[in-house]
Structure 1
């Protein structure tokens, strides 16, 4: 019988990824798969045949190798955290020396570099939504709907893609996010990501118009009716991403800020919109939405529930308000609480 320490790096990797299938979403699974695949390939290049031969020095050499390839600090941190988790698994099955995971160096990321600050800023979101709501041609289109949905719910790409027509409740004005992993539409936080999110009536008007006039009458492979629908049925994650890039092109509502002619600009082509410096991905629209929620005075506990993220994660990764925004929009309304009132007037 093979002993755990005799597993090859590739065999250990496959075993680890396999045992995590019940603990993580498909998207997280793909991330672990890719990060550790890089490590496996490096081990094979270094002729490391047994995980039992791993040492602190081996792991440090791999970290140095990845760092030397010029990857971002946040990327290196993520890869080494995954490596640490993997080595902890190897310890648990007694394939490596005890406490080897403690020798994995997970680099610190300086403040301000741990998350991407790029977002759809509120002024641009207002201009885009105002355009869509007032343009007879683009009102209620797929691009209009995806922008309104992500901006007003702060939902992730996967959550919006997972919506069915039945998950939208027009009369009661809300959408319901449901975890359906067996049918290809898991939520990132699984059942903990399930929630009902209320909508303003003007957002519902847009959804109603889209369903009545623009939505393709298609089903996915499970017989469900996707709310956001392509010619084939439920769109892929990348297709939804492309739609959002197109929905946020700045030349939609005004002159190109980069001096290009929209008629000839290559960024308006279907597969090129992501290259426009001002177009935004679903994640960047979500980031802008969460900042907007907070700037509008929506309490953290309410924002947390709507967007399905912890307060710590919101503060660290999504809430990108500038210092002046925080002062003007969040703190200044509380100044009246600092008034001495009658005591001050009597002095």
Structure 2
């Protein structure tokens, strides 16, 4: 039997991920898998045969290699953060020297890089929702999906996990439940479970969707998904494509990019993500959380609604500009400073 120090980087990579599968969602495992795959392959190309050969210089060389490939600052930050967690695991099993994880440099993300993160802007979101509510598209799948995503700030996996029974029509509530044994885990597992109240307009859109457009289907586990495909519960990729189409700017106006909506290739289900103005579920979540903050919803209330800590919200999701923070959050309190 080999000792921990004799493991190859590839063996250690697989052992590390195998040990974390019970605590991570499949999506998170896939993300970690990809990031550490890059490091493992770099080690193999650099003739690093065992993890005992890892040291501060090796880790610095890997970072320089990735940086030299022109990856985005946010990408490099995330990759090195995952690598540091992997090295901490190797320390714990005594495969590398104690303190090696402290030598992993996790580069800061410049403020200008952070501010570039795409979101569905509040003005666009509200214009889309108002149009959906007053047009022939009221109660369509795209309408209901956008209403739920924008008003709850939920992750794509959480929305996909909703069953028909999780919508309380009378009380106007949506309940997010962790059901890993039937293929709908929540990112934060039991800690991700919550009940979220919704406004009349959102509930009306859902009622219309259920009555007119929702496919009455069961998934492979006998459950009735709230958002169903023609077959069963849609995949995350399918729902992601739905969100792209739901946020097309040409839904309620002329194309800002000069395309003809009748012939535009982006209107195709498979090319919807290529539209410069369409938005992914994560972008809708980011915009929603920023909107919650701008509307003066207490931070702790927003945190519970969207199932994210206040620290995570501040760091990753709240994308208001400095001017927006002043105008929408601080200026309304200015009268409190008036000297009588």
Tell me which structure has the larger Cα radius of gyration.
1
Task: Report the counterpart of residue 67 of structure 1 in structure 2.
Answer: 67
Task: Please state how far the C-alpha of 1:116 moved relative to its aligned partner.
Answer: 4.7
Residue 335 (structure 1) shift: 2.4
Q: After TM superposition, list the pairs within 5 Å mapping 1:119-268 onto structure 2.
A: 119-136=119-136, 138-268=137-267
Residues 315-342 of structure 1, C-alpha deviations (whole Å, 9 max, x = no match): 22222223333223222222232233xx
Quote the Cα distance in structure 2 between the aligned partners of 1:180 and 1:207. Answer: 22
Q: In 1, distance between residues paired with 2:300 and 2:310?
A: 7
1:16 corresponds to? 16
Separation in 2, partners of 1:6, 1:319: 45
Note the alpha carbon deviations across 1:207-227, whole angstroms, 9 max, x for none. Answer: 111111111111111111111
Q: Using the alignment, how far apart are the partners of 1:132 and 1:58 within structure 2?
A: 55
Hey, what does 2:50 align to over in structure 1? 50
Native 8 Å contact 1:250 1:256 kept in 2: yes
Most deviating of 117-126 and 171-180: 117-126
User: Structure 1-normalised TM-score?
Assistant: 0.94
Stretch deviating more after TM superposition (308-317 or 318-327):
318-327
Counterpart CA distance in 1 for 2:116 and 2:181 is 32
Would you say 1:94 and 2:98 are equivalent positions? Answer: no
- The alpha-carbon deviation at position 114 of structure 1 amounts to 3.6
SS at match of 2:174: strand
Query: 1:84 maps to which residue?
Result: 84
Separation in structure 2 between the aligned mates of residue 310 and residue 140 of structure 1, nearest angstrom: 32
Q: Secondary structure at the match of 1:112?
A: helix
Task: Return the alpha-carbon distance in structure 1 between the equivalents of residues 4 and 321 of structure 2.
Answer: 52
Stretches (4+) displaced over 6 A: none
Q: What secondary structure, in the 3-state scheme, does the structure 1 residue paired with 2:293 have?
A: helix
1:73 Cα deviation after fit: 1.0
For the Cα contact (< 8 Å) 2:115–2:319, is it kept in 1?
A: no
- Residues 120, 287 of structure 1: 8 Å contact kept: yes
- RMSD of aligned C-alpha atoms? 1.4
Alignment partner of 2:196: what SS?
Answer: strand
Partner of 1:293: 292
Contact 2:115 2:321 in 1 (8 A): no
- For residues 314 and 281 of structure 1, what CA distance do their matches in structure 2 show? 18
Report which stretch shifted further, 48-57 or 281-290. 48-57
Report the alpha carbon displacement of residue 148 of structure 1 after superposing the two structures with TM. Answer: 0.4
8 Å CA contact retained: 1:242, 1:270: yes
Unaligned runs of 5+ in 1: none
- Structure 1 residues 6 and 115 mapped into 2: Cα distance closer, same or farther (>3 Å)? farther
Partner of 2:104: 104
Worse overlay, 77-86 or 94-103: 94-103
CA shift, 1:44, in A, is 1.7
Distance 2:117 2:103 in 1: 31
Partner of 2:333: 334
Give 5+ residue unaligned stretches, structure 2. Answer: none
User: 1:278 matched to which residue of 2?
Assistant: 277
In structure 2, distance between residues paired with 1:118 and 1:102? 32
Q: Distance in 1 between matches of 2:83 and 2:114?
A: 18
